[in-house]
Amino acid sequence: MSRLSIPGSGLAKGLAVTLRTMTKKTVTEQYPDVQPELPPRTRGVIGLFEENCTVCMLCARECPDWCIYIDSHKETIPAAAPGGRDRSRNVLDRFAIDFSLCMYCGICIEVCPFDALFWSPEFEYSETDIRDLTHERDKLREWMWTVPAPPALDPGAEEPKELAAARKTADKLAAQQESARQESAPHETTRQRAARVTEPHADEQARAAEQPTRPMGDSKQQTDQPGPTSGRSKPRTTGDEPDQEGRE
């Protein structure tokens, strides 16, 4: 048996929803006077960190809209050591993104192996001319200043392989420096022991230099003064006998 419907019940339900909505406080964002609070992973515009770009062309090849334009040239680097082989590297000449064609899929950022592209939550870059929506590398570099900091890592997460390799290398270098310091410690002890042996002689020489010297006349007077007499008489010298006979 079908349920009987009251005529006008649907209209009453709709009016009830309208009345409930009318009684709630409205929330209106006063844009552009007040900037909206966007989540950190908002896909607004793409920033380029040019120092990390190796011109591998992966982003341009994987882009479904073909809106990334890259130009480069090869540069020869001379060998560092004599007899070595010269190397060549790619130098970036142009990196541009046409945001009038971009569909903001983020594939270019995901496939970049050297973290040269980043999302920025900035979205206020509308133009009156569609040709101005093609941002060259200088403009893309300016967007890097608006890229938010990455979120903190989970404390319980596994340490990245790059950090583990860098930490292992640093520990190995510290161990080598410690072993070299221990090997040079005996030589330092020998030098310190020799310095301790020579220190007393140096102190005696310094004390001797600090003592005042006596004049020669004073030393002669001191030698001429008679000393304490003993029971025996002082023997005469041969030079005194002629003088005594002459006086007699």
Annotate 64-93 with DSSP letters as a single string: TT--EEEEEEEEEE--SSTT---EEEEEEE
Nearest to 123 by CA among 184, 60, 44: 44
Say which residues have a Cβ less than 8 Å from residue 58's Cβ, sequence separation at least 6. 111, 112, 113
| pLDDT tens track for 174-185 | 999 888 888 876
Q: Which residue has the tokens 């007040």?
A: 34
Instruction: Report pTM.
Output: 0.54
Q: CA-CA-CA-CA torsion for 148, 150, 154, 160, nearest 10 degrees?
A: 180
On the question of pLDDT at 44 being above 70, the answer is yes
Which pLDDT band, with edges at 50, 70 and 90, does 99 fall under?
Answer: very high
Q: The dihedral of CA 151, 152, 158, 159: what is its sign?
A: positive
124, 52 contact by CB (below 8 A): no
| pLDDT tens track for 117-167 | 999 999 999 999 999 999 999 999 999 999 988 877 788 888 778 788 888
| pLDDT tens track for 205-217 | 666 665 555 555 4
Residue 67: phi and psi, rounded to 5, are: -105, 10
Say which residues have a Cβ less than 8 Å from residue 56's Cβ, sequence separation at least 6. 113, 114
